[in-house]
Amino acid sequence: MFDIDGILKALQTDPNARRQATTGAMAGAAGLAAGMLMGKSGGKLLGKATKYGAIAALGGLAWHAWQRSQAKTSTTVSGDYGPAPADKAFLPPPQDEAAHDALAQSLVRAMIAAAKADGRIDAEENQRIFARLEAMDLDPQCKAFVFDELSAPLNLDAVVAGADTPEHAAEIYAASLVAMDADTPAEKAYLQMLAARLGLEPTLVEEMHRAAIAEPSGATS
């Protein structure tokens, strides 16, 4: 099975990644680790990904935003949403390994593309990332997939191709959203283009942004 949790955990547990994530730095292997699931909004998803798994956590963000966008009512936005329900289309059936792998690969591809969207990952940085990946305790096929995605030019068509259902389209956007801070014109433009290509309703996109940046209930500054 494609180990999306192992890939993200291995990147996130790098000490440099944790340190640079807290300072907002973005360079080399640690930079990509911080960018893949540790942007301003991604950091708030880390605990959920650890607890529920990356697919369930990202699916939860997309599902709860979907529910709010369909309700068309004013609600209090909270960052303490749970995982995607098992009986909804946001999660593959537990016994369907092929569906799990396809969605996991689509989400990792989306995260890597988003991390590259502003053009700050150059060839030298890629080599440092490769060295970090080589040291990870991951299945060779998982490593090869990440190597290939990092080496390939940014390809929005490939990212969008993973959206075989409206639910998966929302999850791909959610994965992209948490993989960047979206505070540069290039990043904002990338997300706008991605949302358009995925055919997402503006209200759904707005709700995902709200959910991603919302503090959990009871949080203090």
Q: Indicate the angle between helix axes 42-52 and 4-12, nearest 10 degrees.
A: 130
Report the phi/psi class of residue 219: left, alpha or beta, with left for phi > 0 and alpha for psi in -120 to 50.
Answer: beta
| Count of positions (residues) in the chain | 221
pLDDT of residue 169: 98
Per residue in 74-130, pLDDT (tens digit) is 455 555 678 898 888 999 998 999 999 999 999 999 988 988 886 666 677 677 777
Mean pLDDT of 196-215: 89
Using the predicted structure, report yes or no on whether residue 175 has a pLDDT greater than 60: yes
Q: 16-40 burial, b for 16+ CB within 10 Å, e for fewer?
A: bbeebbeeeebebbbbbbbbbbbbe
pLDDT of residue 195: 98
pLDDT of residue 72: 62
List of residues 6+ apart from 106 with CB closer than 8 A? 159, 162, 163, 168, 171, 172
Higher-confidence residue of 14 and 65: namely: 65
Report the distance separating Cα 204 and Cα 182, nearest Å: 17
